[in-house]
Structure formats: C-alpha cells, structure tokens
Amino acid sequence: MVPIVSVLLSGAAMGRKKTNGRVELVPQGIRVGRSVLPLLAGTVHYFRLDPAVWRPALEAVKALGLGFVDTYVPWGTHERSAGEFDFGQSEPRLDVTRFLRLAEDVGLYAIVRPGPHINAELTYFGIPERVIWIKECQAVSPGGRPVALPVPPLAFPVPSYASEAFHAEASVWLRAVGAELAPLVWPSGPIVLYQVDNEGAMYFRDGVYDQDYHADAIAHYREFLRDKYENVDTLRDLYADPGLTFFNVEPPRRLQATTPLDLARHLDWAEFQEALLARAFERYKQGLVSVGLTGIPTSHNLPLSEGATPLDPERVGSVVDLLGLDYYHGATPPQRAEIARRTSELAERSAARGHPPFACELGAGFPPFFPPLSEQDNAFTALAALAYGLRGYNLYMAVERDRWIGAPIDTHGRPRASAEFWRRLSAALEKVKFSELERRAAVHVVVPRSLRRLARVMHAFGPISAALFQVLGGGATNACFEDDLGLGGPRVIEVDRFLAVVESALDAERIPYAFSGGDILRHSLKRARWTIIASSSALEPEIVERLERAWKRGRIVTVGPYAPERDASFRPLAEPVALAHRGSASVPALLPFDAQAIADAVSVAKKSLELSELASEPETVRVTLHCDKKGAPRVLFAINATDAGISSRVDSAGARRALDLFDGTVFRARQGRFDVELEPRSVRMLELEV
C-alpha cells in the first residue's frame, strides 16, 4: 500500500523523456511516432487474472491480429483505505505497471480506462463501497432520496456527477492512478490512449426527472441558467414567473406542460444535465493531467442508444478527443437498422473530427445478467458495424473473467473456437487496408440535438430509461407522451414516424444514406448531395442560420415534417423561415409527413440529383460499399438480418469478380450483379476486383 502523499510527490516530481515523436488520432486510426496503426484492441482485466497468465493472455490477444490491449484500472479494487492504494506492492494481481510492461514486451500498445466510474460488471461499478455510502456523494431523486441502480449482483445508490464530495474523493484516486500511469505513456511505455470516465449516462438512471437534485447540482443548474440567459428578465419572461431570480429558480421535478412555451424550463433542465456531464468529465481529466498523464489522446465511450441519454456528443467532444460507441446487439432486422443509424452517425461525426470511427466496446460474449448474445450475434454485429462505417474496435471481452460468458480467449490465455472468427476478421481488414477505405452516403438525415432533448423531456416511462426502448428497436413512438401541447399533434412521435418513412423510402430506392447530428451540420452540407433535417418546428438558431445560408448557396436541403417556426426553447421565431422560394425545382424545401409525398420526393431526387444506388434482391438484403481514396470500389458487404437463408442478387458496383474474405468463395459478375447465398442472420464481406 502506498500513502497518497508519497504518490502525489512522486507524480509531481516525475517528468518524461522529451521526444520528437507524437501520438495523435487520424482518420485511419492512431499515429504513434511515424507509424499509423488501425485501432484494433482487445480487453484484458489484469486485476481479475492470475499474474502467471498475463503473458499468455496478452500473446493470445496479439495472435488475434490486434495491436492494442485495453484495460480498466478500478478505483475500488486498488484502494485499501481512504487515500491509500495498492498498485502491486501487496497484491501481485494489482501490479498494473508490470501488466502494461508485459504488454509492451509482447508488442502491444495500451488503452487505459481509470474511471472513476468503470462499470466492468463490478459491484459498485468499480467505485469503493465506502464512497458509495457517503450520503453527500449520492445522486438525489426529485423526492430527496438516494437514487438506486437495481443491477446484479447488488443494487446500490449511484454517485452524483455534481457532488463536490464525490469529486474530492475521485480527485484523490485520479491523481494517484495518473501518477502511476504517467511513466508508462509512449514513448516511455505502451500507453497511447486513455479514457475519461465510462458510459457517463448518469449510471443508467438518466431519465430527465430521475435525478440529479443534489444541492450541488441545483447550484450548478442556477449557474448554467445565469450563463445562458445573463439577464434575469429574460428568464422571468421565458418561464412566465416574475418572482424568479438566478438564486431561487428550481428545476422541474416532473413534466408539467400544457403549451409549447411551458417546455422551456424542462428543456433547460435536460440541457443542463448534458452540460453537467461534460463539466464532470473535464474535472476528471484535469485530475489526471495534473500529475503528468498528458501527451496522448483521450476518449469516452457512449453507451447503447446514446441519442436517448444526456450525453451530448458536441459537449463531450469538447472535453475528449475520441468519441466511440459500445455495441451489444443481436442479429435481427430492428437491431440491424439500429446499428446502421448509430454507426453511420458515428462515421460522419468521426470524419468531421478527423478521427477513426471506433467501437470502445464491441461485444465478444456477454455478462450473465444480460439476455444471451451468441457468437453469431457477436459476428453479425461486428460485420454490420463495419459495413456501416466502423473502422476500429475493442473486443470486450477478449479474455474471459468472472461475470462474463463467451470471450474468445479463456482465463488461461488459451484461444477458444470463437477466436478463429476474430483472427480471420483481423486478417481480412489488414488484407484490404480497411481502415483506409470510406463508405460514401449521398444523403444525410440530420437529427438535431434539440429534437433528442425534446424526446427525453417527453419520455413517458419515468425511471425506465428511454435508451432501453431504442435498444429493443423502438423509439419515440413507443416511449413518449402523446400530448400535442396545442401544436396539433404529438411532435416527437410524428417526427419519429417521419424519419421511419424517410428511411423506408431511401431503402426502397437502394440509396446509401447516413444519419448525422446537428452539431456537424456544416460537415453534412458539404459532404452530402441531399441533406434532410428532422424538424418538430423547433430548431436551434444556429441550425436555422446555417440552413438559410445553405439555401442561398444552392445546397439541396429539405426540412420535415414541419417548417422551422420556433427556437429550441419553443419560443416563436421573430421571423419564421420562408420556404416558398427555397429548395430546387425537383427537391422540396419542406417535406410533410405523408408517405406517398416522401416516396415521390426520394424517387425524384434520385433522378434529378443522380444519386447512385446499390441494388439488391430480395428487398430484405442490405448492401454497403467501401471505396479507396480514389473512389475505386474495394469492399462490399451483403447483410441478411432475417432468420431465413436467402439466395440474393447484389450490385457488383462495377467489379468483375469478388472474393469472400472469410471462406474464399469467388463470385463472378453477371449483368452487373453477384449471385450470393446468405445464411440466416449473417453478413458477407467481399473484396472487389474491378
């Protein structure tokens, strides 16, 4: 055990050797010195394994074709008492430095994830039990009670991201672990990337009115409103309360809205939660930076159905360098569609930011308290995510441990039968230089943050997270209140249905498309031939401004199903957006919620804008294409998410011949098509020869 005072002194005095080398994210992966490496990693939990098997386990990870090992560094496991930590001095399995040096010796780079929250299927999610039970550290419900997370093996009260008491406790840990890890940063060691916190969606108790009514959170909320509105009269007018000040305003504790203007205080509370998380991540990061953990990129992993959580990619992305997703999906048509939406948006956001689309956790197995995921589910998810734009991943878990089932490597470092799929996948990606390829989508479907915030506010099922509905393939139609608030219809539900019809129409025409966020609208306007912006009639002023400029410059942009008439707080715009002379002769500026009108608009746009298609038969088969920098087609994916085998005909994309990168089957084009047999719930990855 090491007293915290000595840890901090050693960290403060420590300095790393100067070098001309650098570590930075690039679209193809990560640049380490002069080498650019695709981000292919596998998770090993050193603290759950006998140190005698560390080397065999790491060698097995490398044998899968992976270049990085990923590991959590759990606060609650290393802490022996408040302010004292064991990094291997007493318990050999906690010697994270030795583990990472072994990884370096084996030839692996390292990604570390020191929390403070790590989950990792640990009791208390890796936070010390003593901290969990400190009342001042706990998130607070609207009724003033601790907020419990009912997760196996033991429900526990979740910490508050606002609590100064929790931040003080976390700071001691982060500075201690940061001092331990700093000497291992490249080039002095193997660490080239580290994660700040983990799946920061308020410990999955992320309903708008679920938490956090901690006194420190309310104080931050009042600061947030003061910074946003500056003038108290503006706040009073918006909230229709002449007695309000920035010192007495209270957050809403349940949805109470009968008119559009009533939504403002609720939307502000939801936005504050987004700001609160980003602020907490910044503080965690600074704790690590303060003791020398610098010079390498940082990351954060967004959980399943991240769009339904308070994690705002724009805000979180202002704190960390790389935003990645977690993938735990089954092989079904709804899950295929969810993978497509999530991954295509990730790919576009990553392209806008100049880093690789990365899966911080790509499921290889599952925890025992999850619905079972088969090896077929894992393989389908991996290939489908790659099909829609993923370029790097971290296998979670690569090596088996307690509270996990189905990793490709067992606890002794021996590969299981499922390891062969992952080895072949690595080989396939290397063969075609997949990290250098690009999936191009001529149509971008933009979902503004304000719409996602509104969906959170209108969520009808209290403590049951809206994310759960998306995980199960549902959305606002299944999860939101049907109140129309005097707008003539339940706007969130109507926009959700509108988007479903737009997707269906684009799929019917076999037009490649991607989802995108309002924060990267500028990127989408430059990259897409046709941009469709989802609008409930309320849009952020910056989106309205960019929309007007895009039309003036001749960009093909459509909003729907409602014209922008209000700002993000649902206040009427001083000048509603004029649509009469917008758009083009063939593509409308406003697309109403009408299935036939949408189908007609997509069909006309396909012809007038000369949008390319990727044909496939039957209609249940999906195809994606990946090209090199010169635009030459190199890899094609054929996806069958159904439970039946299919004899399909898929677009050859101009190629004469194709090779299945897994089983070696050769396909020859006939009349611009490949005849491809697709097994149930499967994806084929074909290398193209033009």
Please state, in angstroms and rounded to a whole number, the distance separating the CA atoms of residues 461 and 454: 15
In Å, how far from its chain's centre is CA 190? 25
pLDDT above 80 for 9:
no
pLDDT of residue 463: 75
Domain over 2-140+149-202+295-436 is classified CATH 3.30.450.20:
no
Residue pair 570/267 in contact by the 8 Å Cβ criterion: yes
Same fold, 2-140+149-202+295-436 and 443-608: no
Does residue 337 carry a pLDDT above 70? Answer: yes
pLDDT at 7: 33
Q: Are strands 84-85 and 2-3 parallel, antiparallel or unpaired?
A: antiparallel
Nearest one of 284, 275, 280 to 312, comparing CA atoms = 275
What confidence score (pLDDT) does residue 462 get? 79
> Looking at residue 20, what is its pLDDT?
45
On the question of pLDDT at 16 being above 70, the answer is: no
Q: Are 95 and 45 in contact (CB under 8 A)?
A: no
What pLDDT is attached to residue 228? Answer: 97
pLDDT tens digits, 487-541: 988 999 999 999 999 999 999 999 999 999 999 999 999 999 999 999 999 999 9
Distances (CA, A) of 107 to 29, 57, 61, 112: 17, 13, 11, 16
* Confidence label for 138 from pLDDT (cuts 50, 70 and 90): very high
The label of the residue with tokens 């799946």 reads 199
- Where are the chain's structural domains? 2-140+149-202+295-436, 443-608, 616-689
pLDDT band for position 583 (cuts 50, 70, 90)? low
Average of per-residue pLDDT across 132-154 = 95
- Is the Cα dihedral 518, 520, 524, 525 positive or negative? positive
Average pLDDT over residues 592-605: 96
Residues 79-135 pLDDT 10s: 999 999 999 999 999 999 999 999 999 999 999 999 999 999 999 999 999 999 999
Q: State the pLDDT at residue 19.
A: 39
Q: What sign for the dihedral angle of Cα 244, 249, 251, 253?
A: negative
Check if the beta carbon of residue 222 is closer than 8 Å to that of residue 162. no
Q: Give the CA distances from residue 474 to residues 224, 358, 445, 467, 497, in Å, rounded to whole numbers and listed in that order.
A: 32, 24, 18, 9, 11
The model carries a pTM of 0.95
pLDDT for res 222? 98
- Mean pLDDT value across residues 331-359: 97
Percent of the chain with pLDDT over 70: 96
Mean pLDDT of the chain: 94
Q: What is the DSSP string of 169-224?
A: HHHHHHHHHHHHHGGGBTTSSSEEEEE-SSS-SGGG---TTTS---HHHHHHHHHH
Maximum Cα–Cα distance for the chain, whole Å?
Answer: 75
Backbone angles phi, psi at 211, to 5 degrees: -165, 175
- Percent of the chain residues topping a pLDDT of 90: 90
> Does 351 have pLDDT greater than 60?
yes
188 burial level (CB within 10 Å; 0-12, 13-18, 19+):
middle
Q: Kindly indicate the confidence band of residue 369, based on its pLDDT and cuts at 50, 70 and 90.
A: confident
Could you tell me where the DSSP H helices lie in 473-594?
476-479, 491-508, 521-527, 541-552
Q: What is the mean pLDDT of residues 302-312?
A: 95
**What is the homologous superfamily of the domain 616-689 according to CATH?**
Golgi alpha-mannosidase II (2.60.40.1180)
Nearest 5°: the CA angle 156, 77, 358 is 85
Closest residue by Cα to residue 355 from 308, 317, 326? 317
Class of domain 443-608: alpha beta
Does residue 581 surpass a pLDDT of 80?
A: no
Alpha-carbon dihedral sign for residues 308, 314, 317, 318: negative
Average pLDDT over residues 174-179: 98
